[in-house]
Structure 1
Amino acid sequence: MSLTQSLAAKKQEILKSWFQTTVDSYPADTARFLKGQKDPFANPVGKATYQSLDALLDALATGAGRDAMASALDPILRIRAVQTFTPSMATSFVFSLKQIIRKHLPGRGSDADLDMGGLDRQIDEMAMAAFDIYVACREKIYELKATESRNQFFGSLKRAGLIVEAEADGPGF
């Protein structure tokens, strides 16, 4: 049985373990809620996380490439970017997949070791894409905060009468 077939056969077990590990990176009360609440409207973070991990496993099993992985990573990393995670904590769930797969697909022989090397490279590629997405999201957040602060500052100056906006239809223009 090939590694791809083995992954497909054990997908639900791997997904369950990966979701558990990912959710456990949150504080205990939050993790308990994310695992326990099954209603997608009451628990959109848990649902988005589960769906992202499911799509990532599909992309990994089919060798879909970086674009498919980035598309699946985006929702979970957007959520983690607005939370109090450090970059390493926010992306660590990707690396945990290596141990989870090895736990569910133990002792497969030397040919499988070669396949696992390729799988490890794909997971490393997934981790690099995850870090890029996380950093882009954080940059956008900082940009939005800076723009908001600038607008508040100039709005305060304008209300205080310390600056006057130039007319757009000024003479000679």
Structure 2
Amino acid sequence: MGHATEKAVTLMVAAICGDDMVDGEVESALADLIRVRAIQQFTPEQATGIIFCVKPILREEILPMYAGQEGFANYLAMESRVDSLCLMAFRMYSEDRERMHMLKVDEYKRRYAQIIRRAEMIVDRPAGEPE
């Protein structure tokens, strides 16, 4: 968990700053982080909200550097990248939760099918006959 978090945060910060990234590297690291949070039964807000925690940091630390400068567009682009990462994380969280629920449904179907097969075997077999 710690390694996945560290890797995701490092890559997210680089992506937010606009560094060139290997295609899919940020998405892969973010998927690992979100998958863990989805499995641990975090709410959507808790699972993806960690990304929005970056915005106040940007406003406190980065925004003053761009105040009154032409580089303000760069700051707005950073905030936009934070929003994009959050939307990506929410999509991943939803997909992971859906996948978990489908696994549960499949398991219930298998159990139910086994119960039906056993019940049919009992009903079809006349009393007193060996198995």
TM-score above 0.5, yes or no: yes
Q: State the match for 2:7 in structure 1.
A: 51
Q: Compared with structure 1, are the counterparts of its residues 65 and 111 closer, same or farther at alpha carbon in structure 2 (3 Å cutoff)?
A: farther
Q: CA deviation at 1:125?
A: 0.6
Q: State the match for 1:138 in structure 2.
A: 97
Q: State the match for 2:48 in structure 1.
A: 91
* CA RMSD of superposed structures (Å): 2.1
Give the whole-Å Cα distance in 2 for the aligned partners of 1:58 and 1:75.
Answer: 17
Give the whole-Å Cα distance in 2 for the aligned partners of 1:65 and 1:95.
Answer: 23
Higher RCO structure, 1 or 2 (CA under 8 Å, sep 6+):
2
Which of 52, 60, 64 does residue 107 from structure 1 map onto? 64
Q: Which runs of 5+ in 2 are unaligned?
A: 123-131
Give the whole-Å Cα distance in 1 for the aligned partners of 2:45 and 2:11.
Answer: 22
Give the whole-Å Cα distance in 1 for the aligned partners of 2:87 and 2:7.
Answer: 20
Q: Deviations over 1:105-138 (max 9, x none)?
A: 3511233432110101111111110011110000
Q: State the match for 1:128 in structure 2.
A: 87
Counterpart residue type for residue 55 of structure 1 = L
Give the whole-Å Cα distance in 2 for the aligned partners of 1:77 and 1:67.
Answer: 15
Q: State the match for 2:38 in structure 1.
A: 81
Indicate if the aligned counterparts of 1:81 and 1:138 stay in contact, CA closer than 8 A.
Answer: yes
**TM, length-normalised to structure 2:** 0.80
Q: What secondary structure is seen at the aligned counterpart in 1 of 2:64?
A: coil
Which of 118, 125, 128 does residue 159 from structure 1 map onto? 118
Q: What secondary structure is seen at the aligned counterpart in 2 of 1:118?
A: helix
Q: Deviations over 1:78-113 (max 9, x none)?
A: 000111211121100111111123333351123343
**TM, length-normalised to structure 1:** 0.62
Give the whole-Å Cα distance in 1 for the aligned partners of 2:23 and 2:38.
Answer: 20
Counterpart residue type for residue 84 of structure 1 = Q
Structure with greater Cα Rg: 2
Q: What secondary structure is seen at the aligned counterpart in 1 of 2:41?
A: coil
